Chains A and B, each alone.
Chain A
């Protein structure tokens, strides 16, 4: 059952994501889009356009999205944009009075950036989701977890795409 053998590589990814975040923060783009970056902290990827801002606004209801408690594991380089493995985990509680009720997966430069929403319940016992996605080109991917108590936690990965997977 080779379908189930995709195991992303975490520590390498983390290191590269942090490096990439640093690079992006360094090359600050002075534009009207700065106004859209009210969502992100200094270490976070910039919100690239109004569509992503609208998506984040709708998910968050305007509340802050903080980095932490979520781990988004993706390859640093995706050779085939048609099949890019994704793994999302959190260390947030999954108890009846405090649980992750949704995880949103956003790919900044895809034609349909809000790629998936996973609605969850405490019956799952934990959050450990994996799937495979299509990516059009090199971009940031965002995983945003929403708790039943109204907190929003996220992680980001920059994935370099060699072969366009969206047509």
Chain B
């Protein structure tokens, strides 16, 4: 992925009915440097990685992931969600340099 660091996307199904168990897919652009590699000049590349992801649904925290640099570059994560209400689903990724990246999608129900 060639997006700028912190570019993030969340994908949910296009057609959701109340009570559905949906799969949420997400990706954020980030190098996830371990700190174990060196660049072409032989200088160490410092550790630089997403360390926490907080998922909220309608303002309630529904999941929180603690990560290390062992997660692959441009981290993907997918998880399920019980679609009980029409509300925003928000993810906030925080890296070890203090930056945060936020993305949201609206969970809305298809007309019956």
Contacts and interface: CB of A to CB of B under 8 A. Distances in A.
A124 B81 contact: yes
B58 to A, nearest CB: 9
A165 B75 CA distance: 15
Contacts, number: 107
A136 B69 CA distance: 12
A1 to B, nearest CB: 7
A145 interface: no
A111 B34 contact: yes
A110 B70 contact: yes
Given A116-B67, A119-B65, A125 B72 contact: no
Contacts of B57: 123
A4 B34 contact: no
A124 B82 contact: yes
Contact of A115 (B1, B60, B70): B70
A6 B36 CA distance: 27
Interface residues on B, range: 20 to 34
Interface string A36-79: 00000000000000000000000000000000000000000000
Contacts of A132: 71-72, 75-76
A133 B80 CA distance: 19
B62 A123 contact: yes
Interface of A: 1, 3-4, 6, 82-84, 107, 110-112, 114-121, 123-134, 165-167
Interface of B: 1, 11, 21, 23, 25, 27, 34, 36-37, 57, 60-82, 84
